[in-house]
Structure 1
Amino acid sequence: MIRIILYTTAGCHLCELAEALLLQAKQQYSLTIIATEIGDNDELVARYGTTIPVIEFDNGSQLNWPFELDDIIAQIN
């Protein structure tokens, strides 16, 4: 199973779009998606506050918005 972290925050419509793409990818691959609220952590706000949504893969690679389903699948493969 592949673990993916989605860095997100409340009221972020782009984050909702990113989550929808991850759910599409989950239909094809065995994924665990962990939504992480950055607003609860000053370090995460400093790191991702202007770039969310960001997804991070098991191997440490990240995709910053904008990305498409094909970009996610390329990282999974």
Structure 2
Amino acid sequence: MRVTLYTRAGCHLCDQARAVVVQVCEELGEGFEEVDIDADPELRERFTDEVPVTFVDGRQHDFWRVSPDRLRAALRG
């Protein structure tokens, strides 16, 4: 999976980011994984104020909001 989306339950920005990631990944034939930061104490400490956080190819791409155009460009680049 080239895209990892770090989220937490009850996060409205996470819901919005997930919708963008799903749309762009389906459009480009890419998969993604979603990780709940609250299931891992280290992730919760690292990302608690930044969720959702999007990684592409193992590198941090965006946090809080996901731009479909930026995500497409990263996946095509």
TM-score (norm 2): 0.87
* Corresponding residue number in structure 1 for 2:39: 40
Change (3 A) 1:34 1:28: same
**Alpha-carbon distance, 1:65 to partner:** 1.8
> Matches of 1:5 and 1:61 in 2, distance apart?
9
Measured on the aligned residues, the alpha-carbon RMSD in Å equals 1.4
In the TM superposition, what whole-angstrom CA distance separates every residue of 1:27-73 from its partner, at most 9, and x where no partner exists?
A: 32121110100001111011111000011111424211223211211
User: Within 5 Å, which residues of 2 pair with 1:1-77?
Assistant: 2-77=1-76
Cα deviation, 1:9-42, whole Å, max 9, x if unaligned, reads 0101110100100111023212111010000111
Q: Spell out structure 1 runs of 4+ moving beyond 6 A.
A: none
Q: 1:59 to 1:5 in 2, by over 3 A?
A: closer
- Secondary structure at the residue paired with 2:10? coil
Q: Which runs of 5+ in 1 are unaligned?
A: none
Gaps of 5+ in 2: none
- Matched-pair identity in %: 30
TM-score between both structures, scaled by the size of structure 1: 0.87
